[in-house]
């Protein structure tokens, strides 16, 4: 008795979640891309906090600027997954989406 009612509720819940997911996906596809609110876009576009490197004798401090988020082109490139490594098949090097590029030095 208990297992039957629990199973029915679980099936009803799964069906309602599936329906909600399909209907929201159809609504998003009909509307196209939706831009986030301005504060969220400003946070995502802000420059990341720079890294700091100190010389071994502790007399020189380097401030290293980093890239923000990778571009859509870099994320959508094909990758080879070999032994835990992610390789770019065009240059047999690391993929750009996971590389932290430095772009400033002061």
Q: What is the pLDDT of residues 17-57, one digit of tens each?
A: 666 666 655 555 557 888 889 999 899 888 889 999 999 99
pTM of the model: 0.48
Q: What is the mean pLDDT of residues 81-105?
A: 83
Domain ranges (residues) in the chain: 1-34, 47-106
Question: Measured in whole angstroms, how far is the alpha carbon of residue 82 from the centre of its chain?
Answer: 21
The pLDDT tens digits of the residues spanning 54-86 come to: 999 999 999 999 888 888 888 888 889 888 888
Distance, in Å, from the CA atom of 93 to the CA atom of 101, rounded to the nearest integer, reads: 14
The band of 3, judged by pLDDT with boundaries at 50, 70 and 90, is low
Give the residue carrying structure tokens 């047999």.
92
Q: What is the pLDDT of residue 69?
A: 82
Q: What is the pLDDT of residue 63?
A: 95
């Amino acid at each position: 008795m208990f297992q039957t009612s629990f199973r029915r509720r679980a099936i009803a819940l799964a069906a309602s979640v599936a329906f909600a997911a399909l209907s929201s996906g159809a609504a998003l596809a009909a509307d196209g891309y939706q831009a986030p609110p301005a504060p969220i876009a400003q946070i995502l576009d802000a420059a990341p906090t720079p890294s700091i490197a100190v010389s071994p004798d502790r007399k020189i401090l380097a401030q290293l600027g980093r890239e923000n988020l990778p571009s859509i082109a870099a994320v959508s490139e094909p990758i080879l997954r070999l032994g835990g490594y992610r390789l770019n098949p065009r240059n047999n090097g690391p993929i750009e989406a996971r590389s932290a590029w430095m772009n400033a030095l002061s």
